[in-house]
Amino acid sequence: MATTAIPIDTLPSMNPATGEVLGHFERTPASSLPEIVSRARAVQRDWAKLPIRDRCAKLRGLRNRIMASRNELTDAVVRESGKPRVEALFADIFVALDSAEYWSKNAARALRTQRVPHHSTAAKAKRGYLTYEPLGVIAIISSWNYPLAIPLSEIIPALAAGNAAVCKTSDFTPQCGALIEKLFIDAGFPKDLVRIVQGGAEVGQALIDASADKVIFTGSVATGRRVAEACAKRLIPTVLELGGKDAMIVLADADLEVASSAAVWGSYTNCGQVCLSVERLFVEQLAVERFIALCVEKTKKLRLGSGSDPATDVGPLIRPEHVRRMIDLVDDAVSRGASVVCGGSARPELGPNFFEPTVIVGVDSSMKLFQEETFGPILAIQVVRDAKQAITHANDSPFALAASIWTKDKSRGMALAAELRAGAVMVNDAISYFGIAEAPHGGCGASGWGRTHGKAGLLEMMQMKYIDVDGLARSEKPWWYRYGSDLERAADAFLQFEFSGGIGAKLRNARSAMKTFFRDHGW
């Protein structure tokens, strides 16, 4: 029987629910990256000269294209990532639309020149300003779990700021990558301003080697370390979002019905393949029995299946090796004393990548489930005496991306949030801050550094410039040459005038201090 040869320079688009290959997309040759970045740099120079209102108008056009294409985009997300269609709409399409909407309206204000007031007497004759200039070409290396939301929420502010963007989307989601580039073409953006490159690690390395002006990476700690090392050799600044081990602290006074629903959704949404997933639950002793019962009850009601089925709550993992990892994590925890009270098994009869939503209790920090990023549908619970112990356990992790606290006492929740080591803390909600355009996203430690989203994320893509305008243009400055003992005495008097605590000392030194400003330089 004849077979159809598949070119080796293509990427397969696979449906994780079935393992079916949906099509093939052209792989970008690594050797072409210098030329791609060079073309992006050339067109960026003209793009940066456009008034920001014109760039924002283009973003409004992009928003309209995303909205008009939302069904096609949603279908692609569901086919390649496996997530339920509802999740694709809320987490991918909404975030992309909202990013375009927000920056089209707010970029000009965020990047407006700012006056810098001067507090010292020596600088009172000056006027200071902060201005922001685009960096040039932003390289984005993105992830497969949110194949539209993550890259688009980084490309959009990069363009608003006047940069070009070259984005390597995941080799697991090549169709989504191709559709992103098409969006910008259809919205009338300049050719080569936004380029999507397709491939694996070799393309990511080539993108770094092509010397973009900044690299924004989303992915694993191991790959992030390699990205940081490669960029450091070229002194390329980076933003690294390397995942999390997010803690959820449930206090005894929390609404357990609501908190348990949040725990179930926060652990299983996108089949747990979320950097902000709830991966460590710390529940106060007084509430733990009821809380576990509610989580188990709700988990058992979830429907596991293909994301294309409207009845599905939890879709598949992305690839078979992720299923094997879930089995290993559960086995490790059970071998160390944890108990599976719901789920815990692969479901090969549904497809090659299905794993049951799992509730596991008696977990502690000795287990991989509390040490490594899970990235799968496992809800792991540890009982704690009180809030103090919960905070101690939550902070006992190399990851520090986000966390949540559940309590009816909002003031207490705010106070405890201040004690948590995390880039973001939500009180009585989880994960959803990622969809708030104003909210910065990022962490520290093993979770990486820098921020995306919000003004902090926008400024990551800018070069800040300070401009100083002196108001005494015809006067030589008192600290200039030439030096001498008279200037030395006057300088000391000025220090006493400026920094002495008492008004008497200031008055005694005022006359001598003024000599620094009205002196003959002796040229």
DSSP state of 28: P
Give the contacts of 223 (CB within 8 A, at least 6 positions apart).
Answer: 201, 217
Model pLDDT, residue 500: 82
In this prediction, residue 2 carries a pLDDT of 42
What Å distances lie between residue 102 and 89, 105, 114, 274, 458, CA to CA? 18, 5, 21, 23, 12
Quote the crossing angle between the two packed helices 174-186 and 70-81, to the nearest 10°.
Answer: 160
pLDDT band at 376 (very low <50, low <70, confident <90, very high): very high
Q: Which residues contact 463 (CB under 8 A, 6 or more apart)?
A: 132, 133, 134, 135
* pLDDT class of 1 with cuts at 50, 70, 90: very low
pTM: 0.94
Listed in sequence order, the DSSP H helices in 272-340 are 285-300, 320-335
End-to-end Cα spacing for the chain: 97
pLDDT recorded at residue 506: 79
Residue keyed to tokens 């509610």: 294
Range in 30-34, 161-165, 410-414, 506-510 with the lowest mean pLDDT? 506-510
Select the more confidently predicted residue: 311 or 523. Answer: 311
pLDDT of residue 496: 86
Radius of gyration of the chain (CA): 28
pLDDT at 144 over 70: yes
Query: Residue 490: pLDDT above 90?
Result: no
From residue 70, give the alpha-carbon distance in Å to each of 65, 94, 462: 8, 9, 30
Q: pLDDT value at position 514?
A: 79
Check whether 448 has a pLDDT greater than 70: yes
CA-to-CA dists, residue 138 to 46, 210, 211, angstroms: 16, 11, 10
Residues with catalytic function: 241, 275
How is residue 217 written in tokens?
Answer: 């990476």
Q: What are phi and psi of 373, to 5 degrees?
A: -65, 125
Q: Is the pLDDT of residue 3 over 60?
A: no
Rounded Cα distance, 144 and 91, in Å: 13
pLDDT confidence tier of residue 487, bands split at 50, 70 and 90: confident
- pLDDT tens readout for residues 235-272: 999 999 999 999 999 999 999 999 999 999 999 999 99
pLDDT at 8: 63
Structure confidence at residue 454 (pLDDT): 97
Banded pLDDT at 295 (limits 50, 70, 90): very high
Choose between 510 and 452: higher pLDDT: 452
Homologous superfamily (CATH) for 246-434:
Aldehyde Dehydrogenase; Chain A, domain 2 (3.40.309.10)
Residue range 144-172: mean pLDDT, rounded? 98
pLDDT at residue number 4: 47
How far does CA 187 lie from the centroid of its chain? 25
Locate all alpha helices (DSSP H) within 303-449, ordered by sequence: 320-335, 368-371, 387-394, 410-417
Q: Return the SS3 of 431.
A: coil
pLDDT tens figures, 405-429 = 999 999 999 999 999 999 999 999 9
> Residues 109-118: pLDDT tens digits?
999 999 999 9
What mean pLDDT is predicted for residues 453-481?
A: 94
pLDDT above 90 covers a percentage of the chain that reads: 87
For 327-374, the pLDDT digits (tens) are 999 999 999 999 999 999 999 999 999 999 999 999 999 999 999 999
Q: How far apart are alpha carbons 430 and 63 in whole angstroms?
A: 27
Length of the chain: 523
Q: Taking residues 45-72, what's their average pLDDT? A: 98
Q: Residues with Cβ < 8 Å from 146, sequence gap 6 or more?
A: 81, 91, 92, 95, 270, 274
DSSP state, residue 355: B
Q: Which fold has domain 33-242+456-465?
A: Aldehyde Dehydrogenase; Chain A, domain 1 (3.40.605)
The percent of residues above 70 in pLDDT, for the chain, comes to 98
Identify the pLDDT of residue 7: 55
- Say whether pLDDT at 5 is over 60: no
pLDDT at 507: 84
Could you give the CA distance from residue 26 to residue 177 in angstroms, rounded to a whole number? 11
User: Burial level of 230, CB count in 10 A (0-12/13-18/19+)?
Assistant: middle
